[in-house]
Amino acid sequence: MPAPTQQSLTLANAILKDYYGPALARQLNDELPLFNRIRRRTRGWTGRRYVFPVHLERSQAVRAAAEGGALPSAQAQGYVEAVVERKTILARGRITGEAIEQARTSRGAFRDLLLEEMTRLKTDIVVEAGRQIWGRGDGVLAQINGAVNNAATVTVDNPGTRFLHRHMKLDVWSSRAAGAAREANNLVIDSIANGTQFELSAPATLSDNYFITRADVRDANNFHELTGVEAMVDDGGLAASYQGVSRAANPAWKAYVNGNGGNNRALTIELMLKAVNAIENSSGEQPNLIVCHSSVWEKYAELLHQNRRFSSAALQGGVGRLTFSGGGRDIEVVKDRFAPYNRMFLLNTDHIHLFQVNDFTFMDRDGSQLARVGDSFAYEFTVYFMGNLGTTRCNAHGRIDDITAAA
């Protein structure tokens, strides 16, 4: 080989170093607008379940009468018992002893790897809870759109792949109601292709219109996820009973719902005013927070732009903090990525609580957050939460359905 006539980066590769930046670059969204507000209002409990009485019906032994008229027949007030059932969320991590030892100082790694894995796992379980509080408790993530015949590609809708992630383990159920049959268990997502399709790690045969959940978050008759906002803010159409109280038998336990039969329509100021007034008429209080998906939030921002009704925080060329004036007070309008599409929720957070046996914490009853793994040079750690989302006043909340908004 002839001698090189000049030095180059290729020839000098052995003496060149890689230059590492100072920090780990975060790419994941950990923001939980609604959940972080609710966490400020926790109610602790122990025992079997959280129970409280609810006054739902007045005595009707009240009337006008003529002079000397007979007294009305006596009646009693109406009370029921509301029950918040405990749900458990678990998260588990594992790390080898070599990884701990060789990545515990800044000279060997960007982060102490054990600390990083434990910290991120705790964040992950909180984010999962932030998703669960928006559901009905049945764990449904998507609905299959088209039968799958011994194939790995799955097409979904309602609401597409927005809640699905690579490596997630899935079950498939014939219905989202109690009594459903499980068609498949522990399917593994290999990749997310787009907003409506994902690839499994192995071919499967799945039925059209069946429902997808995380693996083992329910059985035929029991749901293990948190009972979320969709069940709480309802008039019986999605959740016939809530916290053990029948909405058909107890109309005061219904939230306000304004739908359009599944046909989307434009969001209007009048729809929002009607919702606020209906909630105030039922509960005596106005909602203090409006939450929706960003696509619906954008439609509300357009309304403000068209009507020139900006809050004082509005910015030139866009909008800042959005509020809605329902006549009594300005109600903040916030967006949450986990909120359902095409819906707007009007909430009174004074009556929403995280009823918890414990906060998100590591298992450490034996004195250590780390547990040795059998005969392996490795350790495991587990984060858990026990509790549920709940409300003490269903009629203090409301929902506008069927809003035209492109996600």
The span from the CA of 346 to the CA of 5, in Å, is 75
pTM of the model: 0.92
Rounded Cα gap, residues 356 and 135, in angstroms: 18
Q: Is 332 within 8 Å of 322 (Cβ atoms)?
A: yes
pLDDT above 90 as % of the chain = 86
Local structure of residue 26 (DSSP, 8 states) = P
Range of lowest pLDDT (58-72, 200-214, 231-245, 303-317)? 303-317
Comparing CA positions, the residue from 233, 209, 196, 227 lying closest to residue 343 is 233
- pLDDT one-digit tens code per residue, 316-355: 455 568 999 987 789 999 999 999 999 999 999 999 999 9
Dihedral pair phi/psi, residue 229, rounded to 5°: -65, -35
Q: Are 62 and 75 in contact (CB under 8 A)?
A: no
Count Cβ atoms within 10 A of the Cβ of residue 272 and give its class: 0-12 exposed, 13-18 middle, 19 or more buried: buried
What residues pair up with 399 in beta bridges, in sequence order?
A: 257, 345
pLDDT of residue 109: 81
Reduced to 3 states (helix: H, G, I; strand: E, B; else coil), residue 221 is coil
Structural tokens at position 109 = 């790694």
pLDDT of 130-147, one tens digit each? 999 999 999 999 999 999
Confidence (pLDDT) at 240: 97
**What pLDDT sits at residue 319?**
56
* Banded model confidence at residue 187, pLDDT cuts 50, 70, 90: very high
Residue of 262, 261, 255, 264 lying closest to 236 (CA atoms): 255
Residue 37: its pLDDT value, please? 95
Q: Which of 23-32, 70-79, 175-184 has the lowest mean pLDDT?
A: 23-32
User: What is residue 333's predicted lDDT score, i.e. its pLDDT?
Assistant: 97
Q: What is the pLDDT of residues 27-67, one digit of tens each?
A: 999 999 999 999 999 999 999 999 999 999 999 999 999 99
Q: Is 380 left (phi over 0), alpha (psi -120 to 50) or beta?
A: beta
pLDDT in tens, 103-118: 888 878 888 999 999 9
Token pair recorded at residue 224 = 């293990």
Q: Answer whether residue 315 shows pLDDT above 70.
A: no
Whether residue 311 is predicted with pLDDT greater than 70 in this model: the reply is no
Residue 186 near residue 215 (C-beta atoms within 8 A)? yes
Question: What's the rounded mean pLDDT across residues 13-34?
Answer: 89
Which residue in this structure is represented by tokens 């966490």? 39
Mean pLDDT of the region 196-218: 98
Give the integer Cα–Cα distance in Å for 224 and 342. 26
Q: What is the pLDDT of residue 312?
A: 46
C-alpha span between 47 and 137 (Å, rounded): 21
**DSSP-assigned states of every residue in 266-288:** ---HHHHHHHHHHHHHHHSS--S
Residue 215's nearest CA partner among 247, 173, 246 is: 173
CB 157 within 8 A of CB 342: no
| Confidence band, pLDDT 50/70/90 cuts, at residue 310 | very low
**Averaged pLDDT score across all residues of the chain:** 94
